[in-house]
Amino acid sequence: MSQSSSKHTPQPVSSKTTYALGALALVVVAAIVFAVYQWNRGSDSPRNDGYGAVRDAAVSVALDSDGAIVLGKPGVAKTVEIFEDPLCPACGHLEKIFGQEIAQQIDEGKFAVRYRLVNFLDSASRSKDYSTRAIAANECVAQAGDGPLYSRFHEALFTTRQPEERGADHDNQTLATIAKDAGASDEVVRCISTGQRVDTARNHAEAALKALEAELGGKAATPSVFLDDKKVDWQNDDWVVNAAG
């Protein structure tokens, strides 16, 4: 192999220069890490943090014949449809990040929410029927017709009180206690603790799952959000604002 005829001999880089380049590299890396951290932190930060659940007493909740739970003010023009499984971690993430923003839009009458609860994660719960029983509890609370009460219960069940997959889950008595802490009446508490709606909830969950599969071409994934029969990208930070616009 031919060699260069140049007689230039590279001089060794001084230790001072080496340290300077190393420090610069560390600064660049630190800046990148910080930027990534800030981006992730922003995307994982609850929107409208501090607002909480629905507040307006004019917001009602109704249990449809197909098991859908509709939360909103009467006569609202838009309805956002949300499919969730009570044990689904991604559903918990959606509620933690966007739940308070959704609650405010409901209070302001921008849209109603139609919750379709499915139970395909029953087998991932220790009791093997947690999702179904949690859906039954949602139906017991929804039957009372109190929108803010249902919102508080739903929020707790999908955020601070959501069990982990394949971990310990809530028995009916615990579900009833969560409802009572949200302000549920003794009648609602009794409905949950006795499992009064479990069989009905199972049928409703199966109907919701079929509806979800039909929307997604035979596949089922939660959470799934729809507006005007169009799938919404719920991982877009502005999806709630866009739906309300």
pLDDT of residue 41 exceeding 50? no
119-152 confidence digits (pLDDT tens): 999 999 999 999 999 999 999 999 999 999 999 9
C-alpha distance from residue 20 to each of 10, 16, 23, 137, 159 (Å)? 19, 6, 5, 63, 48
Q: What is the mean pLDDT of residues 69-94?
A: 98
- For the chain, which residues make up each domain, given as ranges? 15-44, 60-244
- Which top CATH class is 60-244? alpha beta
CA angle 112, 117, 119 (to 5 degrees): 170
pLDDT of residue 17 exceeding 80? no
| Percentage, residues of the chain above pLDDT 70 | 82
Q: What is the mean pLDDT of residues 40-51?
A: 79
3-class DSSP assignment, residue 28: helix
Quote the pTM value: 0.82
pLDDT of residue 44: 85
pLDDT of residue 36 exceeding 70? no
Q: How confident is the model at residue 43 (pLDDT cuts 50, 70, 90)?
A: low
Q: What is the mean pLDDT of residues 203-228?
A: 96
Q: How confident is the model at residue 35 (pLDDT cuts 50, 70, 90)?
A: very low
Q: How far apart are CA 213 and CA 210, in angstroms?
A: 5
